[in-house]
């Protein structure tokens, strides 16, 4: 269900949601068979509704409503209606949002463990990624994030590798020298692009198109689906196949809000988070990347296949030097092939 609200309306809805969760939690597990009051939760994200994960969020909401027989509903606020990723994540703690879905690296502002999500060249391929985040290591990472931040990861969704889009040809790290590259507000992104010689520029996603159009930044990096659906081909010419980061999409709720829900509703959220929406995202990413690449080239972008070995060599020892706190998790992931 989509709602486009702001100002007073959003605040009013937030109060209603908190009241609903509060009444649900007062009876604990017994509420599973008690009150039939409908509980509504606000889910926020920053993508246009044409993006794969925006559509996956819709499928998540549909499955939640179906599994709960309409007693638990997810209201979706898309395209940054409730704020940027950082605002949405912080909003989970104060009630301006209840669930956030977005790039996992945003969690690194609240959890040291979450810095692992955006380490460059961490995974050999998509199969390696899937083994980690659908297995024991992924569960360990989620548990540490919950302990450190109070945010509960309901699921990891596939996103696809991140590519660089830029206004000049980039084949080696030296070609990045001085280029202003928009990165998410994540210390790992900032430090890694600094080590590669670029000038990383943290910025809200909603500002990226205009900033490239006006020359404020020289480029950005994201998966092909988001590059295509955001029409970045209209403002930069080069598409560079770096595939430097395979960052999962996370579906996140605050532990406080989650624990206010009945046990039945908790189980429904977790089941739906790992159900149709997750399957849809994975299938669309796998089948769509080649099609998005073709469409971007047809739209005028020039494909560049850089010297990846040179990029990887430039980042040797990156975790040891900059983020020793995630070294143990890093090493577990590297051998989990």
What is the C-alpha radius of gyration for the chain, rounded to an integer number of angstroms? 20
Closest CA to 152 of 24, 274, 256: 256
Strands 219-223 and 302-304: unpaired
Q: What is the pLDDT of residue 25?
A: 36
On whether the CB atoms of residues 292 and 227 are closer than 8 A, the answer is yes
Q: What is the pLDDT of residue 184?
A: 86
165's CB contacts (< 8 A; 6+ apart) are 219, 220, 221, 222, 227, 232, 233, 236, 238, 239, 240, 301
Query: Rounded to 5 degrees, what are φ and ψ at 256?
Result: -60, -50
Name the pTM for this structure: 0.83
| Cα–Cα separations (whole angstroms), residue 27 to 17, 40, 64, 67, 259 | 17, 18, 21, 21, 12
Query: Rounded to 5 degrees, what are φ and ψ at 141?
Result: -60, -45
Closest CA to 117 of 60, 21, 184: 184
Half-sphere exposure of 207 (CA within 13 A, CB side): 16
Q: What is the pLDDT of residue 225?
A: 87
Q: What is the pLDDT of residue 287?
A: 85
Q: What is the pLDDT of residue 5?
A: 40
Q: What percent of the chain has pLDDT over 90?
A: 82
Question: How do residues 58-67 score in pLDDT, each as one tens digit?
Answer: 999 999 999 9
Q: What is the pLDDT of residue 186?
A: 84
Q: What is the pLDDT of residue 21?
A: 52
Q: What is the pLDDT of residue 11?
A: 38
| pLDDT tens for the 337 residues of the chain, in order | 444 444 434 433 343 444 445 434 333 333 344 457 999 999 999 998 988 999 999 999 999 999 999 999 999 999 999 999 999 999 999 999 999 999 999 999 999 999 999 999 999 998 999 999 999 999 999 999 999 999 999 999 999 899 999 999 999 999 999 999 999 888 899 999 999 999 999 998 889 999 999 999 999 999 998 899 899 999 999 999 999 999 999 999 999 999 999 999 999 999 999 999 999 999 998 888 889 999 999 999 999 999 999 999 999 999 999 999 999 999 999 999 8
């Amino acid at each position: 269900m989509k709602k486009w609200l702001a100002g007073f309306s959003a605040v009013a809805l937030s109060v209603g949601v908190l009241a609903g969760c509060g009444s649900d939690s007062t009876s604990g597990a017994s509420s599973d068979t008690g009150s039939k009051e409908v509980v509504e939760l606000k889910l926020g994200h920053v993508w246009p509704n044409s993006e794969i994960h925006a559509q996956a969020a819709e499928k998540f909401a549909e499955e939640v409503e179906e599994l709960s027989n309409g007693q638990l509903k997810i209201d979706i606020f898309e395209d940054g209606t409730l704020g940027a990723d950082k605002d949405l994540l912080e909003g989970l703690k104060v009630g301006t949002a209840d669930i956030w879905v977005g790039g996992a690296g945003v969690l690194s502002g609240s959890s040291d463990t979450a810095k692992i999500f955006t380490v460059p060249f961490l995974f050999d391929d998509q199969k390696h990624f899937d083994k980690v985040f659908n297995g024991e290591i992924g569960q360990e990472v989620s548990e540490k994030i919950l302990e450190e931040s109070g945010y509960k990861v309901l699921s990891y969704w596939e996103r696809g590798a991140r590519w660089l889009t830029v206004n000049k040809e980039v084949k080696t790290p030296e070609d990045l020298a001085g280029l202003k590259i928009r990165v998410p507000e994540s210390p790992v992104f900032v430090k890694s692009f600094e080590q590669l010689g670029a000038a990383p520029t943290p910025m809200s996603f909603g500002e990226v198109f205009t900033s490239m159009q006006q020359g404020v930044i020289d480029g950005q990096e994201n998966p092909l689906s988001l590059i295509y659906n955001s029409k970045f081909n209209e403002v930069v010419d080069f598409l560079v196949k770096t595939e430097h980061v395979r960052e999962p999409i996370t579906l996140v709720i605050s532990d406080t809000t989650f624990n206010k829900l009945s046990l039945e509703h908790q189980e429904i959220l977790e089941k739906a988070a790992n159900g149709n929406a997750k399957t849809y995202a994975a299938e669309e990413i796998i089948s769509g990347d080649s099609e998005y690449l073709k469409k971007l080239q047809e739209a005028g972008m020039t494909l560049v296949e850089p010297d990846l070995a040179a990029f990887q060599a430039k980042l040797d020892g990156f975790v040891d030097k900059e983020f020793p706190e995630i070294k143990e998790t890093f090493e577990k992931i590297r051998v989990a092939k």
